[in-house]
Structure 1
Amino acid sequence: MQGKEVLGFRMFLFSTMIAQLVITFASKFDNGIGLQMVENVPFCLELARIVMSEQSDESGTTSTLFFLFGVSSVLVGLVFYLLGRLEMGRIVYFFPSHVLVGCIGGIGVFITITAIEVATNTTFSFTPQGFNDSIVSQFNLLLPVFAFEIFLRLMMHATKGKYSLLPPVFYCLITPVFYFSLYALGVDIDDAEDAGYFFPPIKSTESAFSWSLLDIFTEIHFWNISWKAVFKAIPTMTSLTAFSLIHVPINIPAFAISTNTEPDMNAELIAHGYSNFISGIFGGLQNYMTYSNGVIYSKSNGRGKCSSLAIVALTGFIFIYGPLLCVYVPRCMAGTLLLHVGIDLFIEGVG
């Protein structure tokens, strides 16, 4: 079996692919972007702790944990579907618009913090120690992020927003420009890796095309499941389900405001029901229509089924080759993307 890093990587991408595929055909938005529900990671960690407290063998813990992930996703999907079928989508209209706009600004702050953490591989906190550990002592890692972001802002200002594809093309060029900069400055790539400018390699002993691609679908063995751990995990799964329901009533109206679209909340709830149920059947994680990625996609003039299916295909490509390619991606590319989105959303929220 491959390393756990590869399993986690592909679990994330599988859930994202399912979400994008369902949103393409079931959502009323023509520019929605699906994503694995990363906010649920703390609940997933708690489920892992519960399982590990009851089982010690690797095969058993993996079977039980994947079973819990799948059941949780199925539960989330069923609740979303029932809310949509019962036409409970109207409850979102009780959220005042200024609350939703405030949430947009808050999401912007969160994404900006994430940009710092991704670029520096640290955990940021609003304390003197947090600023020192994540910004002051790691400023060399943040410098290319700030440089790329400032340059992009200047280009957007100079072109007065005429070119919607400017940001995505710019992001794609960050990696080759970064490599060229290392070459021009005479910096060895190994030294740059040691300094933290690249993501660490994901350990894998298999080639891209092998039966290991199906590992995430073959981890559940019912005879190895600890039903005691499953029973013990019920409160956590219940909390996970309730927490999952919070995002959609906020993300969908906020995305509708940002894209000037009138949403059909019942249809979106049903779509989320389908995507989570399908993901759960295969032992996958929860997913939703993400706000921040959707805004990037919308501002890049992305819309329509063909474009959305292209995203599914690209995600599938990364599902196969991602573990081999991620080591070549500089942290500053992801950091710049997140920082740019975070600043935009914060400005939109307070503007």
Structure 2
Amino acid sequence: MSEGLRKRVVVTVSAGAVIGVVEVVLAISFAVLVFSGFLEDARPSGIGIYLVAASLTLAILAWRAGVRGVVGSVQDAAVPVLAIVASSAALHTFGGVDQAFLTVVAATMIVTLLTALTFLVLGTFRLGNLARFIPYPVVGGFLAGTGWLLMKGGIAVAASTDPQLGTIGQFVDRFELVRWLPALAFGVVLLVATRIVRRALVIPAVLVIGLVAFAIGLLVTGTSIQDARDGLWLLGPFRAARLWHPWTYRALTSSGTDWSAVFHEVPGMATAVFVAVIGCLFNVGGAELLLHTELDSNRELRDVGLLNVVSGLFGGIPGYHALSLTALAKQMDVDGRGAGLVAALVPLATVAFGASIVGLIPRMIVGGVLVFVGLSLLVAWLVDMRRSLPLGEYLIVPAIVLTIATKGIVTGLEVGLLLAVVLFAVNYGRIDLVREVPFGAAFRSNVDRPPGDRVTLEGLAERVQILRLNGFVFFGTARGLLERISKRAEASPMRFLVIDLRRVTGVDASGVFAFRKVALLAEASGFEVVFADTSERVQEQLQRGGLAASDGVVRFEPDLDHSLQRCEDELLAEAAPEGADGRGDGFTDLPPHLEPFLERRSLPEGTVLIHQGDRPDEVFVVESGRLRVEWVTPDGTRMRFNTVRPGVMVGEVALYTGLPRTADVIADVPSVVLALSRASIERLEAEEPERAAALHRWLATTLAVRLTDAQRVYSALLD
């Protein structure tokens, strides 16, 4: 073996041993917290189960992780919830300690296996980014709340009592300060050390210093090991000499488990699953930042799901990526896979040979580790996050923590979910759902009309209001939409209210109710509501809510263009003088004396006047009827581009550029057009140059008007 390889092996084994020792301390701390009070006699078995789970987590994640360097651990997120579940289940169990132990194991298995199933589902269906849909302050409140429970549990462990306390006052009254103050101080020292000293071995070093300080304290006070045991300063003595006691699934499924007590804890178990899943999703993202690499979150979830299936079958608690241990491996510059596999041997060795050693661990160390983990979460979310969150959002974090501290984790979860909904509604409600587009000079339908009609429509611009809606119309935005429409109706009389729903993704019951009130307002005020580009699902929702198409009140059109065309047609019809023939007055602008050069053509309905791709050799003016301009896509789909009315010219652009025709022009109804060929224009230029110049000025003016219209529409849409 080369010197370099030997050095790498030594460093990897050393790092693995350090990581394994830290993991052993964490696993023991979590087990001591869960198996407290009535379950204390079953604590050795609980410690053994948690150590086996720790070994499995380290080994499987070292093997399966998508990136070298990731280290796994049994996780703290669900532990305080499981401690509450265990305490309550033991309280509701009618048998002795053995039955209470099996009941807690059964509940833990269900939690871990359900967590595993959730991971597998999220990973399989590629929902790894699901955590981003939960508001950051709400997640922070949950994690800070679990931090409070861990800190409180650590103090209770140090004082050798049941961690399920009521108030802070009881905290102080029930415990002798001399028992839990050292644990609190040790946890604070660990926290300060890890935040100030950015070194790989700071946690193991502080643990060793704590053990040495405790030993010195025993020597100074003349306290023997037996006296320390009798005074409940140590975890031991244990009732059994081993940390692993075989239990069978038969015992779980038969009379050994009080299933009524298990079912009684369903809310708490569901909360544990939720918190564990959220913790994992955030730790995967944190590992990416820590290792400066990209992880496939869906693959990581599938791997963690597999890990928790195996761990759950042994009765272990949920485990996944550990940011602290991953950082430790990174700072020691070791291969995470090798270090993780070596570390996995340490908990197993502790189970096999370390019962007597575990019994000598001071309670202040175990409790202090729990205090450290809890304080880390509290400081991270209550102190550090204050600098990066707006005050309104930040206050959600202490609100959830306070609820968890006073009312319990389940109530805290309910309050958190409620605040998530409220926060979403408030934030989304601030988004301007409505975008007004000015009708008339700036925005009209894609119908080419003669100048006289255009002037008429510009004069009637205030009679049409266009609203373009975006996103989801729900109770947080519906009220503002209704108020906006009401104010507009009061400001000036409308004839049409056009609501473009093309970008609306959905409408809730409050949104439907708001639209119904708009329809009632329209009926009372004498305007018509036109819903444009409504999806089939949204239209079905509106119709179920009583918004069916009705004469003069509500109408549905396929898109905004058709909606505006219909509004314009009705406005022009209402404004036309009695007896008008509807031809339009565009012909008054034609240069005089063109009749000899024009060819009148009658077009039956459906006649194709211009074919897309044809060579341009004529320009046309519509005398009567209506033409539609369609663009044919490469796959054969036909898209309406424009509609041409009497008095309007078509085909002039291609005639000037000489490029092939870009669209089909089809007679929508029986129509008459006047054709002016390229040959006629050339003859006019040769015979009557002044009239030819007038013709070119007229064509140029028409092009300029169309360009100006296009610019106005573009500006209106961007505004």
* TM-score when normalising by structure 2: 0.40
For 2:276, the aligned partner's letter is H
For 1:222 and 1:109, the matched residues in 2 are separated by 35
The 2-side partners of 1:333 and 1:49 are apart by 28
Q: Deviations over 1:71-105 (max 9, x none)?
A: 66545433431221111222211123343344443
1:248 and 1:289 in contact (8 A); partners too: no
Give the counterpart of 2:149 among 110, 115, 120. Answer: 110
- Indicate whether 1:92 and 2:134 are aligned: no
Match of 1:225 among 229, 254, 263: 254
Asked whether the equivalents of residues 119 and 142 of structure 1 are also in contact (C-alpha less than 8 Å), the reply is: yes
1:130 — aligned with what? 171
How far off is 1:25 after superposition? 2.4
Deviations 1:214-239, CA, capped at 9 Å, x for gaps: x43x5233898359976996786797
Give, in whole Å, the separation in 2 of the partners of 1:107 and 1:187: 35
| 1:307 matched residue in structure 2 | 339
What residue is the counterpart of 1:316 in the other structure?
348
Matched, 1:188 2:227: no
Match of 2:464 in 1: none
> Pick from 169, 178, 191: which aligns with 2:214?
178
Which residue identity does 2:73 align to in structure 1? G
Residues 190 and 290 of structure 1: is their aligned pair in 2 closer, same or farther, counting only changes over 3 Å?
farther
Give, in angstroms, the shift of residue 278 of structure 1. Answer: 1.7
User: Which of 279, 282, 296 is matched with 1:253 structurally?
Assistant: 282
Q: 1:336 maps to which residue? A: 368
For residue 88 of structure 1, give the secondary structure of its aligned residue in structure 2.
coil
Identify the residue that residue 240 of structure 1 maps to in structure 2: 269
Is the Cα–Cα contact under 8 Å of residues 251 and 289 in structure 1 kept in the other structure? yes
CA distance, structure 1, for counterparts of residue 374 and residue 98 of structure 2: 40
Residue 182 of structure 1 deviates from its aligned partner by 1.4
Give the one of 295, 298, 302 matched to 2:327: 298
Question: Could you tell me how far 1:176 is from its partner in structure 2?
Answer: 2.9
Cα distance change, pair 34–11 in 1 and its aligned pair in 2 (3 A): same
Identity, in percent, stands at 18
The answer to whether residue 44 in structure 2 is matched with residue 12 in structure 1 is: no
Letter in 2 for 1:34: S
Whether contact under 8 Å (1:33, 1:290) holds in the other structure is yes
Larger Rg: 2
1:348 aligned to 2:380? Answer: yes
Aligned to 2:319: 288
Question: Are the counterparts in 1 of residues 61 and 70 from structure 2 also a CA contact under 8 Å?
Answer: no
Distance in 1, matches of 2:238 and 2:300, equals: 35
- Go from structure 1 to structure 2 and tell me whether the alpha carbon gap of 1:271 and 1:187 turns closer, same or farther (over 3 Å shift): same
Structure whose residues are more often strand by fraction: 2
Write the distance in 2 (CA, Å) between the matches of 1:182 and 1:227: 42
Q: Tell me which residue corresponds to 2:484.
A: none
The one-letter amino acid paired with 2:199 is Y
Aligned to 1:203: 239
Mark the CA change 1:73 to 1:347 in structure 2 (over 3 Å): closer, same or farther. closer
> How far 1:316 moved relative to its partner?
0.8
Mapped to 1, the partners of 2:375 and 2:288 lie a distance apart of: 17
* Residues in 1 aligned to 2:137 and 2:369: alpha-carbon distance in whole angstroms: 26
Q: Secondary structure at the match of 1:289?
A: strand
2:186 touches 2:368 (CA, 8 Å); kept in 1?
yes
Give the 3 Å change call, closer, same or farther, for CA 328–61 of structure 1 in structure 2. closer
Q: Which runs of 5+ in 2 are unaligned?
A: 1-40, 385-719
> Partner of 1:196: helix, strand, or coil?
coil
1:231/1:97 CA distance change after superposition, 3 Å:
closer
Q: Kindly tell me: are residues 253 and 10 of structure 1, through their superposed partners in 2, closer, same or farther at Cα, counting changes over 3 Å?
A: same
Matched, 1:268 2:271: no
**8 Å Cα contact 2:159/2:180 also seen in 1:** yes
Q: Is the 8 A contact 1:34 1:288 kept in 2?
A: yes
CA distance in 2, matches of 1:66, 1:154: 35
Question: Any residues of structure 2 matched to 1:51-66 within 5 Å, and which?
Answer: none
CA shift in 2, pair 1:107/1:182, >3 Å? same
TM-score normalised by length of structure 1: 0.74
1:110-162 Cα deviation digits (max 9, x unpaired)? 3322221121123344242232113xxx21123433554566677678xx525
Task: Let me know the Cα RMSD of the aligned residues.
Answer: 4.1
In the TM superposition, residue 328 of structure 1 has moved relative to its aligned partner by: 0.8
**Alignment partner of 1:221: what SS?**
helix
Determine the structure 2 residue equivalent to 1:26.
64
Q: Which amino acid aligns with 1:253?
A: F
Task: Find the counterpart in structure 1 of residue 182 from structure 2.
Answer: 144
**Letter aligned with residue 335 of structure 1:** G
Number of aligned residues: 331
Letter in structure 2 aligned against 1:161: V
Which residue in the other structure is 1:40 paired with?
A: 82
Whole-angstrom distance in 2 between the partners of 1:60 and 1:147:
37
**Conserved in 2, the CA contact under 8 Å of 1:81 and 1:273?**
yes
Q: Distance in 2 between matches of 1:306 and 1:17?
A: 14
> Aligned letter for 1:130?
F
Q: 1:298 to 1:107 in 2, by over 3 A?
A: farther
Structure 1 residues 101 and 153, CA, compared in 2 at 3 Å: closer, same or farther?
Answer: closer
Question: 1:119 aligned to 2:148?
Answer: no
Query: Does the CA contact (< 8 Å) of 2:151 and 2:375 recur in 1?
Result: yes
Deviates more, 1:145-154 or 1:189-198: 145-154
Task: Quote the Cα distance in structure 2 between the aligned partners of 1:108 and 1:58.
Answer: 28
* Residues 243 and 141 of structure 1: CA distance in aligned 2, closer, same or farther (over 3 Å): closer
CA contact (8 A) 1:280 1:286 kept: yes
- How far residue 346 of structure 1 moved from its aligned partner, in angstroms, is 2.2
Distance 2:257 2:74 in 1: 31
What is the one-letter code of the residue matched to 1:16?
A
- What is the deviation of 1:28? 4.1
CA–CA distance in 2 between the matches of 1:178 and 1:331? 10
Q: Is the 8 A contact 1:16 1:34 kept in 2?
A: yes
Over 3 Å counting, the alpha-carbon distance change for 1:255 and 1:5 in structure 2 is same
Between 1:119-128 and 1:144-153, the stretch displaced more is: 144-153
Counterpart residue type for residue 172 of structure 2: F
Distance 1:147 1:127, change over 3 A: closer
Q: Assess, with a 3 A threshold, how the Cα gap between structure 1 residues 17 and 237 changes in structure 2: closer, same or farther.
A: farther
Structure 1 contact 64–220 (Cα < 8 Å) conserved: no
The gaps in structure 1 that reach 5 residues or longer are none
Q: Secondary structure at the match of 1:121?
A: coil
Match of 2:179, SS? Answer: helix
Task: Provide the C-alpha distance between the structure 2 equivalents of 1:234 and 1:245, rounded to a whole number of angstroms.
Answer: 17
Change (3 A) 1:307 1:230: same
Asked if 2 retains the 8 angstrom alpha-carbon contact of 1:73 and 1:276, the reply is yes
CA contact (8 A) 2:241 2:355 kept: no
